[in-house]
Structure 1
Amino acid sequence: MLPSIILIGIFVYGFISWTGYVSLSEWRSLVPDYSFAGFENYLNLFKDFRFQADIRNTIFFTILFIGAVAIMGQLLAVLIDQNIKGESVFRNLFLFPMALSFVVTGVVWQWLLNPSTGVNLLLEKIGLSPKWYISTEVLFGIPIGKIEFGIPVAIIAIVIAAVWQMTGFSLAMYLAGLRGIPEELKEAARIDGASEWKLYRKVIFPQLRPITMSVIIIMAHISLKIFDLIYAMTGPGANYVTDVPALYMFEKTFRAQDYASGAAIAMILLISVAVFIIPYLLMNRRED
């Protein structure tokens, strides 16, 4: 095991430590500057309008994305579990988007939703072309500091594309969970007089809670680090309505050569992912 431990120590924990060190430095050009800056980079980020918009976008993207993926995956799994004809066809159809990369998904949905191409081009001919894909409007916005804290209309386009791609994963997990519930348990509930709705509500759905928790954790991990889909589909958007921390980190680090600020964003992303992952791992360990 020693070679693996050494490689993980260097390329995972070593680089995380190095990123944390750079985030506390004054390195803002191609020439390294390791002068200690303390938490100045972090404080400047939270005062930055773009980063504030990134946090807002990430919060609402995560909520909408996880909710839609969990609900649609569970619904489709229940429908497919009814022993319908051509089950394998439907299952493969829903799983197919997972075979694509987020870059391909972003390019395809950009074409579909763009007001000047795809579906919207047909709608424009009859005077119904929606502009929400490039809108800077914020729904239910509440002014907080420099930003409006609400749901950016344009982020909904990103949610649609991401849900389309990842619902198959949720479906596969829920379907495996449904197939793992003993048939005797269902029959016992039916004999006791439970209707089909009560059977699902009182017996089957409670059995799927561990699956739901796994789906939430995995989707949260994806949503917090989302980069390629947004980079290919919209970029940061006007007024940063579709910007996210990972995209800002990329531009800060590799375009502006502000390595210290880029490292600070990376550490914030790491902490935000750890907030979801660590409790989940501890809970699983206690259950085991």
Structure 2
Amino acid sequence: MLKRVKHWGPGLLLLAPTIILVGVFVYWLIIENFRVSLTNQHTAKPSDKYVGFDNYTNLLADPNFQHSLWNLLILTIVFLGGTLIFGFLWAWILDKPAKGEGFFRAVYLFPMAVSFIASGVVWRWLLSSLQTDQPGGERTTGLNRLLDSVGLGFLQNDWWSNPTWGIAAIAVPAIWQLSGYVMALFLAGFRGIPEELREAARIDGCSEWKLYRHVIFPQLNPVMLSAVIIIGHMSLKLFDLIRAIVPDANTYDVQVPATMMWVKYIGSDYADAAAIGMILLVLVAIVVIPYLMYTSRAEKR
């Protein structure tokens, strides 16, 4: 017994502060949130009456929540697709020897250093829905004004105010902000492929397309998977950017579960807010846990 204490004691003492902090501020809060989601606490008045999973079933049957899930799907597809495409293209360009690589790499990475709130304030102006000069001196602003000034006024649109694809416009600033990060991932993947492997493929008669298809792309699969997981789970939790761009968090056209949870919370509907939070946690877990299992198995190999 004493030998075990001597063996494990120092390590446990070193990890104890982290274990306590994570246990209290992560897992205990998750448990408490789950407990609240099982009650009928739909007002500021505390309630310990448990209703089981009624809050979850009511939410899943709510057309507004269903619409928020649909918006989340559109946002995730556009956000994920845009960051992967632009990130890969920029990495592909920078992978070729060129002057000023360090400068352009810094330019691409800079948006990632800006908070979503700060960039959202700027993009709220850029994505203004005004399309024509208004009475009283109000004029078009942002991208719509730029399009009008270069003779492309027919491309003006409502951006995030569009009732059908407004949520896709929200993905534009997110793509701008995170494409540099995905670029860094792909660039590291490109640089990790030995030049000898490429030369051997060329000597064997591979064209550039076959070189990328049969040699480079398979080598980039782990990087692609990492980018999909990271960007995918970020899109599921995206809140601050939407909140900074859209004045009213309850705007139906761009409502996602995260903003709906906020609306429920400030309306003192704590049970529904907690239930939405747990649903988001499950969605993130569905995305992240298989990736963690995959990487764990890969490390064991």
Same fold (TM over 0.5): yes
1:64-116 Cα offsets, whole Å, 9 max, x none, are 11111112111110111101111111111111100111112211111112123
- Alignment length (residue pairs): 273
Equivalent residues of 2:125, 2:141 under 8 A apart: yes
* Residues 1:277 and 2:292 are matched in the alignment: no
Q: Which amino acid aligns with 1:8?
A: V
Structure 1 position 3, deviation (Å): 2.2
Structure 1 position 14, deviation (Å): 0.8
Equivalence for 2:52: 38
TM (normalized to structure 2)?
0.86
Equivalent residues of 1:136, 1:239 under 8 A apart: no
Mapped partners of 1:279, 1:240: distance in 2: 32
SS at structure 2 position matched to 1:209: helix
Instruction: Give the structure with the larger strand fraction.
Output: 1
Structure 1 position 49, deviation (Å): 2.4
1:223-266 Cα offsets, whole Å, 9 max, x none, are 0000000001125678612111111111101x210100000000
Mapped partners of 2:147, 2:198: distance in 1: 48
Choose 31-40 or 112-121, whichever is displaced more. 112-121
Equivalent residues of 2:120, 2:241 under 8 A apart: yes
Mapped partners of 1:109, 1:270: distance in 2: 28
Question: Per the alignment, do residues 265 and 83 of structure 1 end up closer, same or farther by CA in structure 2, a change over 3 Å counting?
Answer: same
Q: Which amino acid aligns with 2:28?
A: G
Mapped partners of 2:98, 2:205: distance in 1: 25
SS at structure 2 position matched to 1:37: coil
Q: Which amino acid aligns with 2:108?
A: F
Equivalent residues of 1:121, 1:129 under 8 A apart: no
Equivalence for 2:92: 78
Equivalence for 2:4: none
Q: Which amino acid aligns with 1:34?
A: D
Equivalent residues of 1:25, 1:36 under 8 A apart: yes
Equivalent residues of 1:134, 1:154 under 8 A apart: yes
SS at structure 1 position matched to 2:254: coil
Equivalence for 2:273: 262
Structure 1 position 136, deviation (Å): 3.9
| C-alpha RMSD over aligned residues | 1.7
Equivalence for 1:105: 119
Question: Per the alignment, do residues 239 and 99 of structure 1 end up closer, same or farther by CA in structure 2, a change over 3 Å counting?
Answer: closer
* Residues 1:117 and 2:129 are matched in the alignment: no
Structure 1 position 131, deviation (Å): 2.6
Choose 129-138 or 207-216, whichever is displaced more. 129-138
Equivalence for 2:41: 27
Question: Per the alignment, do residues 107 and 239 of structure 1 end up closer, same or farther by CA in structure 2, a change over 3 Å counting?
Answer: closer
Out of 29, 53, 68, which is 1:15 matched to? 29
Out of 190, 212, 215, which is 2:227 matched to? 215
Mapped partners of 2:142, 2:162: distance in 1: 21
* Residues 1:132 and 2:194 are matched in the alignment: no
Structure 1 position 45, deviation (Å): 1.1
Question: Per the alignment, do residues 169 and 122 of structure 1 end up closer, same or farther by CA in structure 2, a change over 3 Å counting?
Answer: closer
Q: Which amino acid aligns with 2:30?
A: I
Equivalent residues of 1:136, 1:238 under 8 A apart: no
Mapped partners of 2:280, 2:258: distance in 1: 8
Q: Which amino acid aligns with 1:272?
A: L
Equivalence for 1:234: 246
Structure 1 position 31, deviation (Å): 2.1
Equivalent residues of 1:249, 1:265 under 8 A apart: yes
Q: Which amino acid aligns with 2:183?
A: L
Mapped partners of 2:160, 2:81: distance in 1: 23
Question: Per the alignment, do residues 134 and 8 of structure 1 end up closer, same or farther by CA in structure 2, a change over 3 Å counting?
Answer: closer
Equivalent residues of 1:106, 1:161 under 8 A apart: yes
Q: Which amino acid aligns with 1:13?
A: Y
Structure 1 position 16, deviation (Å): 0.5
Q: Which amino acid aligns with 1:121?
A: R
Choose 271-280 or 113-122, whichever is displaced more. 113-122
Equivalent residues of 1:41, 1:260 under 8 A apart: yes
Mapped partners of 1:179, 1:110: distance in 2: 37
Equivalent residues of 1:22, 1:260 under 8 A apart: yes
Equivalence for 1:56: 70
Show structure 1 runs of 4+ deviating over 6 A. none
Mapped partners of 2:224, 2:269: distance in 1: 39
Q: Which amino acid aligns with 1:260?
A: A
TM (normalized to structure 1)?
0.90
